[in-house]
Structure 1
């Protein structure tokens, strides 16, 4: 069930009245059941996996408080479903390559949101280990923390200290309706009007990456850079907006990342909840162990972990390693601070360098194999000549330009702040009309969110 399809609005219309009429644990129970239904809409059997995750989180929190020494084993057990579903085939292919064996397993579908759910639970268990004084959350509270439908499939990645204090205050927040409407509208426009049309061209371009001319390859690289941002930030905007309606504040997940003057700054603005998760639970432990010998190695290894989290393939690992290497160089040279605080020409140069590097390395993120990513980069730099301008290039370039020109305004606070400027009686009908139109278009041309694959 996708936020921008008509069946979701039917779900929302059925969920909201009962949510409004219930209180306390009954409300939490209804929210859990509805969220499981929301997840099961995609593939019902995997809803049982989410139930297992909830029980693992509840048991893990209590076990780690009673037996702290079991923390490593509890974390390993928590990671097992993710490892089994996401990495088994990749690991077997590595073993086959090393030993010359031919292990085969039937393919299976990766459960939606398994990476996001796993990270959400791991942070809860680790934080519970550190904060023994607080009362452990109830099973119902943990079930809502894990399953709450706005964030269940693709984040933002939540923390217990952010979510649990808000559960008792969950309600229909009438004051948040208009700001949430603006934010949801911004998200659905980015998804349906910008990301999905760009995806059509990008998908076609990557199917023939080895024969693309420079003009086509440049547009494909630019289009994917804009597509992935508009697609993922659209989901985050809609998730944050939906949570607002029910009295829950989610953390901001994007803050105009393509205005960053360095890769270091970009990762403070892009998928912020993942960056903070990696900082707290991967980088800091590594840094404490390596600061006496190779402190910068903690940066590099953290980004390799980020690559592995994004996908079970060598090109994802290389993508993470490339970003990690550049982050280390920026750290050694002090470039990030210099570019952020430097003169205008240096800041502009920093933005261009960051966007170009991000866009070119994103070929490893988008391509199904490293070879195809290499073909796209070689075509970008002229391997096949300039070529012809792609069909429909004015529209594609116009969508990219529009997204980038408005990029600085595309933050949660700026969008929701419009509620204090534009009268609701003017904006609300316009927003509802846009949402209805986009939903009709999206429902007739179904396109999932890009990050659902992770």
Structure 2
């Protein structure tokens, strides 16, 4: 089930909100847990058992860590818990990939043992949340949650369960214990949800169709098609993922749970260092706090700082998927972050020259998205080669499939998406749409939301829904 599915919009969501808003105390968490498990079962079937096991295992170990005295046994218990979480993630997400590469090197047939593995949706998100919970208990940043129901509601919270953001228990603990239910939060959350859904169905899905038309035959792609496809995907992935984050934040707010922002105008950055402070903030913050800093961060000398950056972005790429394209994408970003540190030092994230956005940041990011989007390293190579083949006789040829897509509505949607490249850093449509009580702009906001609801309703009912890109992670 996805948020743009009519069954979710017109059945599951209103019923869920009615139950959650009417109940209070422990019943509030119980309703969230039950509904979240139903939501996940609707999406993943029997794999819901894995989510239930993650809930119980992390809750139980958290209680044990809380009660253990300081000493090596407490440290070893934490390591065992982290390793158990990572082992489950590694088996479901990477076993087939690792075995396939071993087969290629040694001529074995080990990958056949893992060919039937089904990747549980959202496993990367709830696994990282479980790990952060255990580490925070060990560090003393948070106390273990005594209620299994409340912890289960946190780890399985359906708005962000299958595509993030990665929510840390310490950030939402108080809200799960005393939900912030109010008319302002209900209205603001609904507005934020509608805004995110509009980004998904109007802009992301439209841009995705353009990207697909260009990338469908990478070996035959032209210069113009390669750049158009890369630009379209750059628009698609931002509006798809930030749109999902808007919807998750909106539903969370309606339920009385405040989820932190996950995007802050990343394409308005001047450097890649700044980009990663604004893109998928929950993931970059997770790797910073639970990997980069424990490795020594930038405090262990220049060479080790570069090593730490390389490790973090190697794993960032691998987190996104079990494929060499994702790993190369992560290393590509890591390499440019190291280059920025060599050129500017630790101030790379504080550079504010707007011209750098257009001559440096956007070209680097757009090229990197080719690696992310391509089905294989070979396909990525074809597209990247086409992007520099301006002298090719067929350089300006565009696929026939684009002609059918070039309708006025699609072109308007694509143009609206392209505005994200020129927007200022301090403007957030999602935050603006969710604001309440500011009478000076209420009329503008109400007009926008009425139009958004109308457009979303027409598009959801008239077109086939498509899954969010980050569902595979």
Tell me the TM-score normalized by structure 1.
Answer: 0.92
Q: What does residue 41 of structure 1 align with?
A: 42
Q: Deviations over 1:198-245 (max 9, x none)?
A: 111212222211112211111101000000000000000011011111
**Equivalent residue in structure 1 for 2:272, among 263, 284, 295:** 263
Query: Which residue of structure 1 lines up, in the alignment, with residue 153 of structure 2?
Result: 144
Q: How far is the alpha carbon of 1:412 from its aligned partner?
A: 3.8
Q: Structure 1 stretch 357-366 or stretch 413-422: which is displaced more?
A: 413-422
Which shows bigger deviation, 114-123 or 176-185? 176-185
1:171 deviation in Å? 5.2
Tell me, yes or no, if the aligned pair for 1:262 and 1:335 is still in contact at 8 Å.
Answer: no
CA deviation after TM superposition for structure 1 residue 53, in Å = 1.0
Structure 1 contact 209–372 (Cα < 8 Å) conserved: yes
Q: Does the residue aligned with 2:65 lie in a helix, a strand or coil? A: helix
Following the alignment from structure 1 to structure 2, what is the Cα–Cα distance between the partners of residues 133 and 228? Answer: 34
Conserved 8 A contact 1:360-1:377: yes
Q: Please give the residue correspondences for 1:279-298 in structure 2 after superposition, counting only pairs within 5 Å.
A: 279-287=288-296, 291-292=300-301, 294-298=304-308
Aligned counterpart in structure 2 of residue 312 of structure 1, from 322, 325, 330: 322
Q: Secondary structure at the match of 2:249?
A: helix
In the alignment, which residue of structure 1 is the partner of 2:338? 328
Give yes or no for contact 2:205–2:236 (8 Å, CA) kept in 1.
yes
1:348 maps to 2:355: yes
Alignment of 1:129-278 (within 5 A): 129-131=138-140, 134=143, 136-170=145-179, 172-278=181-287
Correspondence for 1:453: 472
> Which of residues 333, 339, 360 in structure 1 aligns to 2:367?
360
CA contact 1:31–1:144 (8 Å) conserved in 2: yes
Question: In structure 2, how many angstroms separate the alpha carbons of the residues matched to 1:445 and 1:120?
Answer: 32
The 1-side partners of 2:265 and 2:324 are apart by 29
Deviation at 1:434, TM superposition (A): 3.2
Q: Following the alignment from structure 1 to structure 2, what is the Cα–Cα distance between the partners of residues 429 and 338?
A: 40
C-alpha displacement at 1:163, in angstroms? Answer: 1.2
For 1:17, the equivalent position in structure 2 comes to: 18
Contact 2:21–2:255, Cα closer than 8 Å, also in 1:
no
Correspondences of 1:368-379 after superposition (within 5 Å): 368-379=375-386
Note if contact 2:206-2:414 (Cα within 8 Å) is conserved in structure 1: no
Change (3 A) 1:433 1:132: closer
Partners of 1:436 and 1:335 lie apart in 2 by 49
Aligned to 1:59: 60
Offset of residue 73 of structure 1:
1.6
Indicate the residue corresponding to 1:70 in structure 2: 77
Shift of 1:43: 2.6
Aligned residues: 451
**What does 1:88-103 align with in structure 2 at a 5 Å threshold?**
88-103=95-110
Q: Is the 8 A contact 2:155 2:161 kept in 1?
A: yes
Superposed displacement of residue 77, structure 1: 0.7
- When the two chains are superposed, the root-mean-square deviation of aligned CA atoms in Å is 2.4
Alignment CA distance shift 1:11-1:422 (3 Å):
farther
Q: Once structures 1 and 2 are overlaid, which stretch shifts more, 40-49 or 171-180?
A: 171-180
1:64-122 residue CA offsets vs partner (Å, 9 max, x unmatched)? 33241222121111112211110010110122123221121333331110000101110
- Which residue matches 2:449? 431
Deviations 1:156-189 (A, max 9, x none): 1111110111112225421123322332222111
Q: CA deviation at 1:353?
A: 1.1
- Aligned residue for 1:285, secondary structure, equals coil
User: Could you tell me which residue of structure 1 aligns to residue 413 of structure 2?
Assistant: 399
Task: Mark the runs of 5 or more structure 1 residues left unpaired by the alignment.
Answer: none
C-alpha separation between the residues in 2 aligned to 1:113 and 1:130?
26
Against the structure 1 CA distance between its residues 379 and 421, is the aligned structure 2 distance closer, same or farther, given a 3 Å change threshold? farther
